[in-house]
């Protein structure tokens, strides 16, 4: 009898974590590695949020909390969704989990039966298809190509829907492409979904605040209120508030779905860290003045990276609307030869060559389901980004 669960056969380890570990190993050997593979802001958590956590500890807020979150945070979430997204939810329609990842996982665990399909838009965040598989569902795929600026087209969505489709997972701005949908683009997608009443929408709004220029973020239930009864609006504080280590994510949706997620969470993690929840109350209710500061820095870095990559032999890099990633096309380099004589057959060969020869860590596009591309996170200092792009330019120029 096999010891490990069969479900594990359907799951791949996270490619981003694998690359990050390889980069760490090279660093430990004394190499000057520039890591552009991690998905977290390089900024520190703002002081007002840290102080709220310290005050919570001093008040003795160090015990178990209600499973779906402290009432103060659930109320703060309803205020946030009203203020920023025009969405009306009762506190009982919200749930707080241990990071956005946990919230998505619980939603899938609470709803998927064997054979249920979940549409993932490629390039997708690496965890979606793996979480779907772990929960016993079947991930299906729809491509958002570079020709369409990495945005899902309504006709392709329509074609991907089957009678077995339970969820569409939509992520705007996207990890890994940075693409974000305008109101008109989102409306074209929600129009398709209105024609398919059996399909639910899990919208991952983690990068909501990280959009640049005049871009205006929208979320599906706001654009099409007719979808309210089958939308789970998921968000978190990890990216917008530089709080990745605090592990707070949340979602709002129809009461029966939230109740089911509450049931799952009650037998699993229970409520997440009390201290982190109090910090998140301050993040959502307190001053938002750091957000334009983060945004300005990210926008400057995006422009720097896009410009340098577009001056690199063999690369094409569209300018994304948001998040802190770019996803250059590297098809011009497939078939070339690395300095050690090895032929580059895939984007993974290219990324490994870049790490070994120039000590720059990026993540290959095949991990995100669309390539040949690679993902660069520009959540690091301007100096490091400039140096990394110079190394990428040299590396690409020297391929034969
Ligand atoms: C698209 C997307 N959704 C969700 C998450 C999960 O965020 P958290 O760190 O809050 O679990 C991430 C983190 O990388 C992400 O990129």
256 lies in some domain: yes
Going by CA atoms, what residue is nearest to atom 13 of ligand 1?
39
Q: What is the pLDDT of residue 245?
A: 97
50 lies in some domain: no
Looking at the CA of residue 125, tell me the nearest atom of ligand 1: 1
CA distance 55 to 59: 6
Q: What is the pLDDT of residue 284?
A: 98
CATH code at position 362 = 3.90.1150.10
pLDDT class of 214 with cuts at 50, 70, 90? very high
Length of the chain equals 400
Pocket test for ligand 1, best of 121, 125, 132 (most atoms within 8 A of CB): 125
User: Domain ends where: 285, 305, 322?
Assistant: 285
CA 318 to centroid of ligand 1, rounded, Å? 23
- Beta-bridge partners for 329: 316, 373
Pocket test for ligand 1, best of 14, 16, 101 (most atoms within 8 A of CB): 101
The answer to whether residue 15 scores a pLDDT higher than 80 is no
CA distance 65 to 389: 46
> What pTM does this model have?
0.96
What is the DSSP code (8-state) at residue 67? T
CA gyration radius, the chain: 21
The answer to whether residue 2 scores a pLDDT higher than 90 is no
Structural domain span for residue 27: 6-44+290-398
CATH code at position 92 = 3.40.640.10
Going by CA atoms, what residue is nearest to atom 1 of ligand 1?
175
User: Domain ends where: 285, 307, 334?
Assistant: 285
Proportion of the chain above pLDDT 70, given as a percent: 100
Q: Indicate the number of domains in the chain.
A: 2
Q: What is the pLDDT of residue 33?
A: 96
User: What does the pLDDT average to over 89-103?
Assistant: 98
Separation in Å, CA 206 to CA 54, 98, 165, 193, 400: 25, 14, 24, 22, 40
Residue 164: CB atoms within 10 Å: 14
Same domain, 18 and 156: no
User: Domain ends where: 285, 319, 353?
Assistant: 285
Looking at the CA of residue 102, tell me the nearest atom of ligand 1: 11
Same domain, 267 and 119: yes
The answer to whether residue 298 scores a pLDDT higher than 80 is yes
Pair 304, 284: CB distance under 8 Å: no
The average confidence (pLDDT) of the chain is: 96
221 lies in some domain: yes
Same domain, 278 and 300: no
Going by CA atoms, what residue is nearest to atom 14 of ligand 1?
39
55 lies in some domain: no
CA 3 to centroid of ligand 1, rounded, Å? 31
Residue 322: CB atoms within 10 Å: 26
pLDDT tens per residue across span 107-153: 999 999 999 999 999 999 999 999 999 999 999 999 999 999 999 99
The answer to whether residue 16 scores a pLDDT higher than 90 is no
51 lies in some domain: no
Q: What is the pLDDT of residue 21?
A: 82
The answer to whether residue 14 scores a pLDDT higher than 90 is no
Looking at the CA of residue 323, tell me the nearest atom of ligand 1: 16
User: What does the pLDDT average to over 329-337?
Assistant: 97
Same domain, 151 and 127: yes
As for ligand 1, residues whose beta carbon falls within 6 Å of it are: 39, 99-101, 125, 171, 175, 204, 206, 236, 238, 244, 249
């Amino acid at each position: 009898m096999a010891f490990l669960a069969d479900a594990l056969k359907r799951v791949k380890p996270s490619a981003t974590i694998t690359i990050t570990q390889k980069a760490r190993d090279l660093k430990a050997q004394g190499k000057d590695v520039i890591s552009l593979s991690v998905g977290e802001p390089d900024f520190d958590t703002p002081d007002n949020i840290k102080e709220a956590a310290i005050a919570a500890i001093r008040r003795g807020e160090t015990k178990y909390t209600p499973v779906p979150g402290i009432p103060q945070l659930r109320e703060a979430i309803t205020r946030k969704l009203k203020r920023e997204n025009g969405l009306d939810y009762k506190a009982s329609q919200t749930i707080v989990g241990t990071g956005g990842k946990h919230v998505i996982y619980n939603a899938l665990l609470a709803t998927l039966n064997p054979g249920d399909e979940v549409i993932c838009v490629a390039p997708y965040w690496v965890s979606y298809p793996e979480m779907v598989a772990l929960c016993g569902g079947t991930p299906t795929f729809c491509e958002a190509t570079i020709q369409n600026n990495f945005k899902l087209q309504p006709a392709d969505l329509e074609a991907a829907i089957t009678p077995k489709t339970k969820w569409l997972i939509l992520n705007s701005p996207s990890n890994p492409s940075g693409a974000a949908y305008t109101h008109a683009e989102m409306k074209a997608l929600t129009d398709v979904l209105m024609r398919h009443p059996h399909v639910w929408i899990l919208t991952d709004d983690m990068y909501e605040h990280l959009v640049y220029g005049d871009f205006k973020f929208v979320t599906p239930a706001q654009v099409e209120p007719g979808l309210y009864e089958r939308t789970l609006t998921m968000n978190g504080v990890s990216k917008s508030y530089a709080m990745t280590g605090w592990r707070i994510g949340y979602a709002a949706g129809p009461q029966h779905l939230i109740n089911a997620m509450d049931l799952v969470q009650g037998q699993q993690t229970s409520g997440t860290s009390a201290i982190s929840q109090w910090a998140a109350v301050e993040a959502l209710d307190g001053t938002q003045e750091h957000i334009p500061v983060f945004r300005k820095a990210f926008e400057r870095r995006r422009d720097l990276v896009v410009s340098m990559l577009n001056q690199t032999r063999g690369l094409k890099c569209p300018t994304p609307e948001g998040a802190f990633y770019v996803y250059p096309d590297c098809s011009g380099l497939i078939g070339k030869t690395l300095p050690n004589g090895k032929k580059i057959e895939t984007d993974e060969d290219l990324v490994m060559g870049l790490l070994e020869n120039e000590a720059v860590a990026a993540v290959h596009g095949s991990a995100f389901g669309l390539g040949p591309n690679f993902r660069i996170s520009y959540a690091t200092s301007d100096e490091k980004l400039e140096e990394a792009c110079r190394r990428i330019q040299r590396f690409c120029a020297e391929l034969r």
